[in-house]
């Protein structure tokens, strides 16, 4: 098992957001026929809200699991519930302001968000594979087999 350092995790997160926005903003402006500046605002605000929601939601979910089940181990069913509630909460927070800001319907904002989620699923996979190749965990950091 290998672990990354705190500075490496910060680099990972910052680069993830920077590259993601660098791709998202121009592509989404073209795909959704919106001004690039507007999509930049949507991207930055959405990423900020998603990051804060991630922290608050995961903390709350773990506390709820601990209270109701006495542990925080997540079964497959718990993980499915976890992701559905996370995404549902994020949608509820993002869709109305995006619709308002871009002057589109809530339905259009929902469809836009679904496309964005699809992009970020693929992007997250590709980014993490690339990151692991560019910044491998040094041998000295890897746990020695017992």
The secondary structure of 95-114 as a DSSP string is: HHHHHHHHT--HHHHHHHHH
Q: What is the pLDDT of residues 66-114, one digit of tens each?
A: 999 998 888 999 989 988 999 899 999 999 999 999 999 999 999 999 9
User: How high is the pLDDT of residue 2?
Assistant: 62
User: How high is the pLDDT of residue 58?
Assistant: 87
User: How high is the pLDDT of residue 71?
Assistant: 86
Distances in Å between the Cα of 125 and the Cα atoms of 5, 6, 16, 118, 130 are 21, 21, 11, 11, 9
When pLDDT is cut at 50, 70 and 90, the band that residue 137 belongs to is: confident
Average pLDDT of the chain, as a whole number: 89
Angle, CA 24 vertex, CA 111 and CA 82 arms, to 5°:
60
Half-sphere exposure (Cβ direction) of 114: Cα atoms closer than 13 Å: 6
User: How high is the pLDDT of residue 110?
Assistant: 95
Q: What percent of the chain has pLDDT over 90?
A: 64
- Does the CA dihedral 43-44-45-50 come out positive or negative? positive
User: How high is the pLDDT of residue 74?
Assistant: 87
| CA 91/CA 94 separation, integer angstroms | 5
Residue 144 pLDDT exceeds 70: no
Closest CA relative to residue 27, chosen from 19, 36, 14: 36
């Amino acid at each position: 098992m290998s672990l990354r350092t705190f500075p490496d995790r910060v680099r990972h997160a910052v680069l993830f957001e920077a590259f993601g926005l660098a791709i998202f903003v121009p592509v989404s402006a073209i795909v959704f026929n919106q001004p690039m500046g507007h999509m930049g605002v949507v991207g930055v605000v959405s990423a900020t809200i998603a990051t804060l929601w991630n922290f608050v939601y995961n903390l709350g979910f773990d506390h709820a699991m601990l209270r109701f089940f006495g542990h925080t181990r997540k079964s497959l069913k718990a993980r499915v519930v976890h992701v559905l509630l996370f995404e549902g909460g994020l949608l509820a927070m993002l869709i109305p302001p995006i619709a308002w800001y871009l002057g589109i319907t809530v339905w259009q904002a929902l469809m836009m968000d679904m496309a964005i989620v699809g992009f970020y699923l693929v992007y997250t996979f590709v980014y993490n594979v690339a990151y692991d190749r560019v910044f491998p965990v040094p041998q000295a950091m890897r746990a020695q087999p017992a």
